[in-house]
A and B are shown apart, each in its own frame.
Chain A
Amino acid sequence: MITQTIHKETARPVASQLCQREQFAQQVEAHLDRLYRTALRLTRNVHDAEDLVAETVARAWSSLDSLQDPGRVGAWFVRIMTNYFISERRRAVHRTPHEEYIEEPGADGSSFSIFERLHQPILLWWGNPEQQFLDQLVQEDITAALDALPEAFRIVIVLADVEGMKYQEIAETLNVPVGTVRSRLARARSMMQKCLWQHALDQGLVAEPPNEAQ
């Protein structure tokens, strides 16, 4: 899916180029695990994640001049990675129209909260239901719920919760208004909680009240 591009070196004085190259290599090394983790969350598989990281490194080097704040190299790498990932996905979606890259609001506009479900009066719990629920979740459940999200929603979750970016940074990275980040993130979290809840129901970890059963 992703092809790695090595861009032609722009003319830089040799000495400063060597110095830059060393510093760049150090920054790549320092951020490699983080980039790989984020790439895994974005691509959902190991091979595409490795391709994405490799392409990000090549693109970052060729656009070194766009690094405005050397103290925020990590966020700059992630921005390059995310933009490239999105552009590649858009191209792929173009080729396969049934795959969606949609931003429309939710069908019913309502939000879903596991906490609310756990605290419905009809459910009887001993102890602390939300604690029990969290204790039963394993990392694979979270990954599956995240992977099940449509792309546009998975990306905001990755940038906010995995990368810890501020809303403004996410907006700049995705080139959308901050309000869009807020609403998309809220919906993404709601969808994710709904998915986790369904998983918990399927696994028999929780029971749907009779009047809610579908």
Chain B
Amino acid sequence: MSNHPRKLNCDEAISLLFEYIDNELEQHDHDAVEAHLEECRACFSRMEFDKRLQGLVKGPGTSAAPDELRKRVKSILDLF
């Protein structure tokens, strides 16, 4: 059995792209997508774009819980 990742065309690589970004692929599929991305600039750019967009969904991470909520949660904890 060859250690080389199997060859993917662009459509095949794109169909696996989200799962690749999410790090959810089986190792052999992950390696195959990675090998394709190393050779295909268009698919690599698409992966980078989708990855950055997902990063924006996560948000800036600055939505701190308001003081009102902190007080409310504290009063709940005091009941325990």
Interface residues of A (CB under 8 A from B): 4, 6, 9, 21, 24-25, 28, 32-33, 35-37, 40-41, 46, 50, 53-54, 57-58, 61, 113-116, 119, 130, 134, 137, 139, 142-143, 146, 157, 160-162, 164, 166-167, 182, 185-186, 189, 192-193, 196
Q: Please tell me the size bucket of the interface on B.
A: 20 to 34
Q: Would you call B80 and A24 a contact (CB within 8 A)?
A: yes
Q: Does B70 contact A (CB under 8 A)?
A: yes
- The minimal Cβ–Cβ distance linking B74 to chain A, given in whole angstroms, is 8
A161→B23 CA distance, assembly (Å): 12
Q: Could you count the A-B residue pairs with CB atoms below 8 Å apart for me: how many are there? A: 96
Q: Would you call B57 and A146 a contact (CB within 8 A)?
A: yes
Closest 9 CB pairs of A and B: A36-B65, A161-B57, A130-B49, A37-B63, A115-B46, A32-B65, A50-B69, A115-B49, A25-B77
Interface class of chain B by DSSP: helix
Q: Would you call A189 and B72 a contact (CB within 8 A)?
A: no
| Given A28-B77, A142-B59: A50 and B72 interface contact (C-beta under 8 Å) | yes
Known contacts A36-B66, A139-B56, A185-B18; 8 further A-B pairs (Cβ under 8 A): A24-B80, A33-B65, A41-B59, A130-B48, A134-B53, A146-B57, A162-B57, A164-B58
* Contact sample, A vs B, 14 pairs, CB 8 Å cutoff: A21-B80, A24-B80, A28-B73, A33-B65, A46-B66, A50-B68, A50-B69, A54-B72, A114-B49, A115-B50, A130-B48, A130-B49, A134-B53, A167-B24
